[in-house]
Structure 1
Amino acid sequence: MRKLRDQPRTTRQDLVNDLKRAGTTVSKKTISNTLRRHGLKSCSARKEWEKVMWSDETNIEIFGLNSTCRVWRKKKDEYNPKNTIPTVKHGGGNIILWGCFSAKGTGRLHRIEGRVDGAMYRVILSPLQKIRNTQPGQLRSGSVRSISRSWSGLASQQT
């Protein structure tokens, strides 16, 4: 119990090995049962969420949706105005927006032209001084790999 109070990340296998070295053979199940009787349970360690930055990007169609719309119609009614969707020549276009937030506040909303890749993240993240304090492993995003690669670039630019 003392070891767990001092080192809460100790595993059951560590406890089995320590007891074995002391001359006592105990199973992991017995250790679990004993710890539960003393009011302890196995939990995931909490993360320091104040150091996490969340980010995402979205694609917005300027005119309409870029998907198929289904309608219920009778045969030969396909061109009835009720059953059609108005369109714009060349699709009307779209924009890609990227944004981020953390416990320290929100970042700027960026309009992205082209693909969102590691180079684009370096351009977006380079002026954000507060974000440099966040570790790469603590980022959460749909594109974590790209952001992590960009941290390598940021670190090399700063040194």
Structure 2
Amino acid sequence: MGYRTIGKQLGEKAATASAIIRKWKMFKMIVYLPRSGAPCKISPRGASMIMRKVRDQPRTTRQDLVNDLKRAGTTVSKKTISNTLRRHGFKSCSTRKVPLLKPAHVQARLKFANEHLDDPEEEWEKVMWSDETKIELFGLNSTCCVWRKKKDEYNPKNTIPTGKHGGGNIILWGCFSAKGTGRLHRIEGRMDGAMYCEILATTSFPQ
């Protein structure tokens, strides 16, 4: 059959069928052959140094890495740095924002999760979840980029702790349960036990 007929039956272009057949006749295989290309400017030792630094200091910039390699006798561009990091599974990402927790808080939350891991669904229907959030009124929260792998987004090195209070913002309290969401409540001043009880007394859910 001709290339056009083969391509039509396989849903490919005639040029694709032609290229595959020519490759088979010449090399007796159809896999992609390695291409020569330009040699990498960064040696394996230099790449190891880059990987070690971004693992220890994820907020290192590409210019910092360019300067480090230059002091070691290798001159490269920031694009070359990016390509090397991507080949090793790293990419530039914004830092994740996580609650500012002390180690004791982390352990308490983990303990709670383990204790209630096997609770039946009916028990969770009796639970109401609540939290406060800060909304900026002026400007934007600062952002920062880190070099990390996909699975390391919540590694403490790659996050920015956030607080609940600050200037130029409002604090809102909200809640939800199996019945739905409650009303938002603006917090004026500092939250205490009396204010919390008052908020709960005025919170309603869909019946």
Q: Report the TM-score, using the length of structure 2 for normalisation.
A: 0.29
Structure number with the bigger relative contact order (C-alpha 8 A, sep ≥ 6) is 1
When normalised by structure 1's length, the TM-score is: 0.37
Which has the greater radius of gyration?
2
